Each structure stands twice: as C-alpha cells, then as structure tokens.
C-alpha cells in the first residue's frame, strides 16, 4: 500500500480548519486550499490508521462530478490557480492529487439531501411516521425499497462535533427564504436524478446523497465541498440490491462491520485497524471511482 496521509503540514499557508477528513488553508483573501487526507472516521471517532489513497479518490470523484454538472450549476473550483505558486516543491509532493484551490464562498447552512431509496435514518423515520422528514410515503415499503420518486430531505448544519438535524422543507424556507430554498431543492433533485441514471448504467445504485452549496458576493449559488463521493453518498452494487435488506455499500462499511466485533466503547482513540481491513476498504473506494469515472 502507498504511504497514506493522515495530516498535512503546509507551512507556506495559514491553517484555517481541520475537519474529520479535510485540512483547509487560506490562499490569499479570496481562495482556500482544501487537502483531502486519508483520515477515516467511524461512529464520530477519527481512527488512528488512515485508508491509503482514500483522499485522492474523493478528490478525483468530486472533480469529475463538478465538471459534469458545470453547465447546470457553477462550482467552487479555481482551475487557473496553481499549487506551485503557493507551496514549496516538497509540499506539492505531499498533497499532490488530493489538494484543490477553490473560491472562498459563503456556505449555506443547510445540507441538501436527496433520497431515492428507503434506508438509514429515512427508514427509521418511515417506520415511525409513515414518511420521511414530513413527506408522506405509500404504505408497505420495505427497507431499501425504491421510492416512487426521489425526495428532498434537508438537514440543518450542526456545529462541529454535533449531529446534523433533519428538518422539513417549511423549516428550511424559514431559515433561508422561500426563493433560495426552492432553488436548492430543484438543483438537488435534478443533479441526483441525472447522477443516479448515469451511475445505474455502470451498475451502481445511488441510494441517497448529500450536497452542499455556497454563495458568492452576488448571491449566486455554487456547488461546494464534496460531490457524490463514497463518503457523501450511499452507493450500492445494482446486482446485490433487493428489498428487505441493507445492501453492501461502497464505503467504509467494511470498517464499521469490523469495529462492531471489537471490544470498543466507541470513544477515542479507536482500535488499530488491521492491514487487510484497510486494504479491502481502499479497494472498495477505488472500485466505485473506476466504475463511475472511466469511460
């Protein structure tokens, strides 16, 4: 396995924030450098061993989708900005393939979620209420059922270290205003439908996904953060899908399943992951990238 990157160390730029996966640096006053590391979190704990190559996969997949949807919605990437103008040669080598310079935009504080299948928190909500986030659904649906049509289920962005809260569309309108909320709902569902149809041609079901958007000084909406990656989406192999079960997903499910067998209280620090678990997880990330992005 190639040497993974757990944490970037770029002395040439001021560090703005370290998240669970991304390190963010300031590039002048109007841009940011985003480094997607190989860090892996599970049960809200950053695990001590990263997954080799994961950050590069997430970066390439996001760039693929942003370019694909550029005619529909502008994105945050600043392709004319070069890493070599801001970092030393050694620093460029450290983050090559996993670092992008983006425009500094005002993040909209609502996570835009599209669901095409009934799984996860949506399945729990449906069993309790007969709907998801206030959207009524037909009776008799099962776990992993395909919905009659994709639904938009926003979430209120929580402060760092806390869980996002699912909200209904009325609360989103109250938070953002009717016009912006409607625009984001339309964009989210349009992108999801197109991406889901594209992925299905390659044998992958996009069960659900989340998008984040930002605005420039003129209020124009841009696609930001990560887009349709294994970390922000639930990808299933179409051949393994059936109703009534939770299909295997192309993400860190291998790690979560292994952790559930360990005597761990789900508090930091997490267990030391075995090589074979890391390798199998890395292989899953690479497989979904290849199936989605290669002609």
Using CA atoms, how far apart are residues 133 and 143, in angstroms rounded to an integer? Answer: 17
Same-domain check for residues 88 and 119: no
Pairing assessment for the beta strands 15-18 and 45-46 based on DSSP bridges? unpaired
151 contacts 114 by C-beta, under 8 angstroms: yes
Residue 289 domain flag: no
Same-domain check for residues 119 and 233: yes
Residue 8 domain flag: yes
Residue 285 domain flag: no
- Whether the model pTM is above 0.85: yes
Average pLDDT over residues 36-40: 97
Using CA atoms, how far apart are residues 230 and 238, in angstroms rounded to an integer? Answer: 15
Using CA atoms, how far apart are residues 30 and 27, in angstroms rounded to an integer? Answer: 7
Residue 257 domain flag: no
145 burial class (0-12, 13-18, 19+ CB within 10 angstroms)? middle
Residue 268 domain flag: no
Using CA atoms, how far apart are residues 39 and 268, in angstroms rounded to an integer? Answer: 14
Same-domain check for residues 110 and 160: yes
Q: Where does a domain end: 57, 77, 104?
A: 104
At CA 201, angle to CA 196 and CA 202, rounded to 5? 95
pLDDT for 164? 74
User: What is the CATH number for 94?
Assistant: 3.30.200.20
DSSP annotation string for 47-110 = -SS--TTHHHHHHHHHHHHHHHTTTTS-BSB-TT--GGGTS-HHHHHHHTTTEEEEE--EE-SE
Q: Where does a domain end: 240, 269, 287?
A: 240
pLDDT for 262? 96
Say which residues have a Cβ less than 8 Å from residue 216's Cβ, sequence separation at least 6. 103, 105, 106, 222
pLDDT at 1 over 50: no
Same-domain check for residues 136 and 17: no
Residue whose entry in the numeric block shows the structure tokens 């950050």 = 55
Instruction: Determine the structural domain holding residue 52 and report its residue range.
Output: 1-104
pLDDT digits (tens, 9 = 90+) for 80-90: 999 999 999 99
Same-domain check for residues 84 and 206: no
Residue 83 domain flag: yes
First-to-final CA distance of the chain: 26
Token reading at 197: 């149809």
Token reading at 169: 């569309």
239 contacts 277 by C-beta, under 8 angstroms: no
pLDDT digits (tens, 9 = 90+) for 231-276: 999 999 999 999 999 998 988 989 999 999 999 999 999 999 999 9
Residue 60 domain flag: yes
User: What is the CATH number for 157?
Assistant: 3.30.470.20
Widest Cα–Cα separation across the chain: 59
pLDDT for 3? 81
Same-domain check for residues 93 and 71: yes
Average pLDDT over residues 16-42: 97
Same-domain check for residues 121 and 90: no
Using CA atoms, how far apart are residues 149 and 193, in angstroms rounded to an integer? Answer: 9
Count the domains in the chain: 2
| H or E element, residue 123 | helix 120-129
Say which residues have a Cβ less than 8 Å from residue 55's Cβ, sequence separation at least 6. 5, 21, 35, 36, 37, 38, 39, 98
Nearest to 35 by CA among 14, 52, 12, 18: 18
pLDDT digits (tens, 9 = 90+) for 96-133: 999 999 999 999 999 999 999 999 999 999 999 999 98
């Amino acid at each position: 396995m190639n040497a993974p990157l757990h944490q970037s160390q770029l002395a040439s730029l001021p560090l703005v924030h370290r998240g669970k996966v991304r390190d963010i640096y300031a590039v002048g006053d109007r841009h940011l450098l985003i480094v997607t590391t190989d860090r892996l979190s599970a049960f809200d704990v950053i695990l001590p061993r990263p997954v080799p190559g994961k950050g590069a996969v997430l970066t390439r997949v996001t760039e693929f989708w942003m370019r694909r949807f550029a005619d529909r919605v502008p994105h945050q990437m600043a392709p004319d900005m070069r890493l070599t103008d801001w970092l030393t040669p050694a620093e460029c080598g450290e983050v090559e393939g996993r670092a992008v310079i983006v425009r500094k935009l005002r993040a909209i504080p609502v996570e835009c979620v599209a669901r095409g299948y009934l799984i996860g928190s949506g399945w729990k909500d449906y069993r309790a209420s007969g709907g998801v986030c206030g959207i009524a659904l037909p009776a008799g649906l099962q776990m992993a059922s395909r919905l009659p049509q994709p639904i938009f289920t926003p979430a209120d962005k929580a402060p760092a270290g806390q869980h996002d809260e699912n909200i209904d569309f009325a609360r989103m309108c109250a938070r953002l205003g009717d016009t912006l909320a409607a625009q984001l709902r339309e964009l989210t569902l349009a992108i999801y439908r197109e991406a889901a149809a594209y992925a299905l041609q390659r044998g992958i079901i996009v069960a659900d996904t989340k998008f984040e958007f930002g605005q420039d000084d003129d209020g124009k909406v841009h696609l930001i953060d990560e887009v349709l990656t294994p970390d922000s989406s639930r990808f299933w192999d179409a051949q393994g899908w059936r109703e009534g079960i939770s299909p295997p997903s192309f993400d860190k499910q291998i790690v979560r399943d292994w952790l559930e067998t360990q005597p761990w209280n789900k508090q930091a620090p997490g267990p030391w992951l075995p090589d074979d678990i890391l390798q199998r997880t890395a292989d899953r990330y690479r497989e979904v990238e290849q199936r989605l992005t290669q002609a």
